[in-house]
A and B are shown apart, each in its own frame.
Chain A
């Protein structure tokens, strides 16, 4: 029972971690809580269902399942990244020098807009992702782990390692860190801030798309409002680990997933969604910088 919940929590947590990375990166660079990020995750799940349905309809799935899946992933990532890019250009860029709460309210507006946009175009009913792998898996010490769960965890870990490498070692990653530290200084040494911000949104949205698609496969059901709750939880994960830190987002996500899954089975499943909020409030009050972050001092 305990080990089983641990596995479930780990699966859930690695999905949260993937979404949390997008929040963390954007917050690190723009100091903006990108409220619309949860909706990108939701769009990822929807695009997955739409494209996979399309490939099934034209017979590609029957021809080669891995090819169809890979194409579904690529297209979803591409579209979600485009959405993230466009949202930044339309809703955040004009507000870059505005007071700090203006872009937050704009982000809430985008979130409401996208939710209703998907509801109007795709309908309010649940969408189904066809079960591909069933419950195939392996048993280990009386614990059942499906291949899907295993691949969600493995894919998440690989992506996070890649992202860490990207931010640490590449030229663009270096530019991102510079912009996060000091925008004016970065622009003075010749870094194109607009490009860096766009790349941040592209990567964050791509990761959210992967998370959404994997959740669609895992649960099989998708609805237009899943983005709101998942977004809040992922944001909690990012704050938990220390916002702006990649390692923090990973560990925060996994910790949150574990808390939710263990709390859901041992305390009360009715309050499952409340755990994230309670955890968030406690962390912000006790250690506002998160587990791996530093507390911010206000500059005068």
Chain B
């Protein structure tokens, strides 16, 4: 409708001038925060990046024309995809044999985040409801597990299912009022729910021991055989991840999954077709909460400790990022998105301070240049 008429700077002088003006403006904004000498350095850095990227866009138009049309999932045929999945499964199953403890540790964390991201993908990707307080369910799952374990003496195999049930119920309870809202209002209410949950965990000292957290949680065991080594716990998490992928895939293609997608694409049209939109949205919330609880239980059992610090708003945003980066609604994409966002910061330990800075900038760039995520299909969209 109102497309901004941007006149592309076609000549090389035009590119240079526009980039220099933009860099000058940005370094002017930067000036009061860090002083003159830093602003000058900043100016040259920004100018260099802008000139470089703009001339890249100008002289290699094919690159920009190619970028939106590349569909990674289209690169592989069905048969190749199967082989790829088999190979990655084999790699995951044998990994502890040839990598060190540090890598197994990271892999366990990645597995927990894959489960979380797949759970949130049900809510955002399938049903199209932006949930900015997903860490609340993660927290409820983790605390339910920890409390049942320490206060009631439940073992892993009884505490985890109980925590799953409790958290799923919590998902239902939140969803009943929240689902009267749509789009961005729903996002803000879920954000508020996340913050309230964290504040309660932080302040209800008698139950949760406040900011000190709950410690002294034993490792899980299988028929009185404790999972003492990292590798054995890794296999437990791996089994959970495979279970999650399997179930989420099955549900996605089932009647419920198709109903979710119909609601996401057009709620009014789908309710005309006889889909009870509110009920299916409830299922999406509860189903998402279920996986968050599984991840929370695994997280608590691994850390043997839990505190409110692990469940901030940034945690929710991080999980949203995994889903969006990988591609809304695409299971393989979300798994890869979670892997990228767990492993990349580990590889870039030296520049850890800049991690959140890059995450913020990355979100903006992703929304502008590839809103469907790395692996998302064309049809998937973020709707209000």
Using CB atoms and an 8 Å cutoff, list the residues of chain A in contact with chain B: 31-33, 46-47, 50-51, 75, 79, 82-83, 86, 90-91, 93-106, 108-118, 120-122, 183-184, 187, 193-194, 228, 232, 235, 239, 270-271, 273-274, 277-278, 280-281, 284-285, 288, 298, 300
Contact = CB atoms under 8 A, between A and B. Distances in A.
A47 to B, nearest CB: 6
Given A103-B367, A112-B357, A280-B189, 17 more contacts: A47-B32, A91-B364, A98-B371, A99-B371, A100-B384, A101-B184, A101-B382, A101-B384, A108-B317, A109-B364, A111-B360, A114-B360, A117-B357, A193-B2, A235-B188, A239-B188, A273-B195
Contacts of A298: 182, 268
Contact of A228 (B132, B313, B353): B313
A99 B177 contact: no
A120 B196 contact: no
B192 interface: yes
A118 B33 contact: yes
Interface in B356-384: 356-357, 359-364, 366-368, 371, 381-384
B243 interface: no
Nearest to B129: A101
B76 interface: no
Chain B facing A: main interface SS: helix
Contact of A194 (B4, B30, B184): B4
A284 B268 CA distance: 21
Nearest to B30: A121
A100 B2 contact: no
A180 to B, nearest CB: 14
27 contacts: A51-B32, A79-B29, A86-B29, A95-B368, A96-B4, A99-B381, A101-B187, A104-B130, A105-B130, A105-B363, A105-B382, A106-B368, A109-B362, A115-B360, A116-B360, A117-B33, A194-B4, A228-B313, A232-B192, A232-B195, A239-B185, A239-B188, A270-B199, A274-B196, A277-B195, A281-B192, A288-B181
Contacts of B356: 112, 115-116
B324 interface: yes
A86 B364 CA distance: 13
Contacts of B26: 86
Contact of B361 (A103, A109, A300): A109
Listed residue (B1, B187, B361, B367) with the most chain A CB atoms within 10 angstroms of its CB = B367
Contacts of A100: 183-184, 382-384
A172 to B, nearest CB: 18
Nearest to B328: A101
A183 B2 contact: yes
Interface in B198-250: 199-200, 203
Nearest to A228: B313
B66 interface: no
Nearest to A285: B177
B250 to A, nearest CB: 27
Nearest to B1: A184
A288 B185 contact: yes
Contacts of A115: 356, 360
A102 B32 contact: no
A174 B359 CA distance: 39
B25 interface: yes
B266 to A, nearest CB: 10
Nearest to A104: B184
A285 B182 CA distance: 11
B362 A33 contact: no
A105 B321 CA distance: 9
B320 interface: yes
Nearest to A32: B184
Interface string B26-61: 101110111000100000000000000000000000
A95 B370 CA distance: 11
B146 interface: no
B203 A271 contact: yes
A113 B2 contact: no
B178 to A, nearest CB: 8
Interface residues of B, number: 57
Interface in B287-334: 313-314, 317, 320, 324
A16 to B, nearest CB: 16
Contacts of B103: none
Nearest to B5: A194
Contact of B354 (A32, A101, A120, A122): A120
A113 B181 CA distance: 28
A232 to B, nearest CB: 7
B180 interface: yes
A288 to B, nearest CB: 7
Contacts of A184: 1-2
Contact of B360 (A104, A110, A284): A110
B3 interface: yes
B133 to A, nearest CB: 10
A106 B199 contact: no
B29 A90 contact: no
A95 B4 contact: no
A187 B2 CA distance: 8
A102 B382 contact: yes
A152 B371 CA distance: 42
Contact of B359 (A98, A112, A187, A288): A112
Given A104-B130, A232-B191, A121 B184 contact: no
B368 A94 contact: yes
Contact of A122 (B33, B183, B193): B33
Kindly list the 6 A-B residue pairs having the minimum CB-CB distance in the complex, ordered from nearest. A109-B363, A100-B384, A113-B360, A112-B360, A277-B192, A101-B382
A251 B217 CA distance: 49
A31 B185 CA distance: 11
Contacts of A91: 364, 367-368
Nearest to A273: B199
A280 B133 CA distance: 15
